Homo-oligomer: A and B are copies of this chain.
């Protein structure tokens, strides 16, 4: 071993010892805080978001802000689990993007519960079987997950947080001569995320929607002239080759997930508030709703209409705004909005995804 290598390793050893000491000091303080809190609340989403933001602002590298967030999420996860690990339900099966989102938010020291449907995740949190749930809510290319929106309307759960996860799609097939590919299987969401690429590269291939990307890979494994669109991790499992990577039309293709719980999250300084509204049945009603937000200078980050189940051609609107429901201008805007809306339900205020 060269002297230089030896020297670097000795320096790393010294740093590791310092790290060890500090993470244990941190864990001891987290324990103290746990004993100070009443009612056994172990997770403070607003506080965790503040910690990560501050560290990312202070980060000078070489570790990326993504790596710093991952490391400190894990530190907080282990400190939290000193008392008892959090239980978190997510839309399964294991290995899906939703599990990855839950891990990204809560770290590895949690008790994960895989659920078969979005309904089951809501039920698991409502019944108290788990403390938090994670469900997908929208994709940047393909739009809303309708079932999540419908359940949010009915449920008494609070939105306690959001997670953003970049999604990369690949073309998987037994053989990578794309001129031979006659059909492409995938979940409709994924077909939609890659339609531009398909139009250019596989214009003649049939696009066959199936229930999941894993099912698509399974089907493609059975036919030499078929391909699947799925994540790279599905390739090995079904004996397929990754023919083309990152075929999503938008390189920033991202899925947004919501964290569900029973807790009203306090303001973190950079927050969002989600709500459902319906307008009264008269001309200009929707415009009036939005006017209350504009008046108090509250930015809207999402406005999504969805058929209401209560009548033909009636709609509810899913609206996200910047700010916490306790922020002064948000309080004023919401009070006015409430006057003009036929129906209004606040789903929760929570920190912006870090």
Contact = CB atoms under 8 A, between A and B. Distances in A.
Contact of A19 (B11, B22, B33, B112): B22
A2 B8 CA distance: 44
A30 B9 CA distance: 8
A265 to B, nearest CB: 15
A93 interface: yes
Number of copies: 2
A141 B9 CA distance: 40
Given A12-B29, A30-B12, A237-B116, A62 B95 contact: no
Interface residues of A, number: 77
Interface stretch (A63-71, A151-159, A186-194, A284-292): A63-71
Give chain A's interface secondary structure class: helix
Nearest to A59: B20
Given A16-B55, A54-B13, A236 B120 contact: yes
The 10 closest A-B pairs by CB, nearest first: A94-B95, A115-B236, A114-B237, A113-B236, A67-B78, A92-B237, A15-B26, A27-B63, A95-B95, A116-B237
Given A9-B47, A63-B82, A124-B236, 11 more contacts: A8-B32, A12-B26, A16-B54, A20-B55, A62-B82, A70-B78, A93-B93, A94-B94, A113-B232, A114-B236, A115-B237
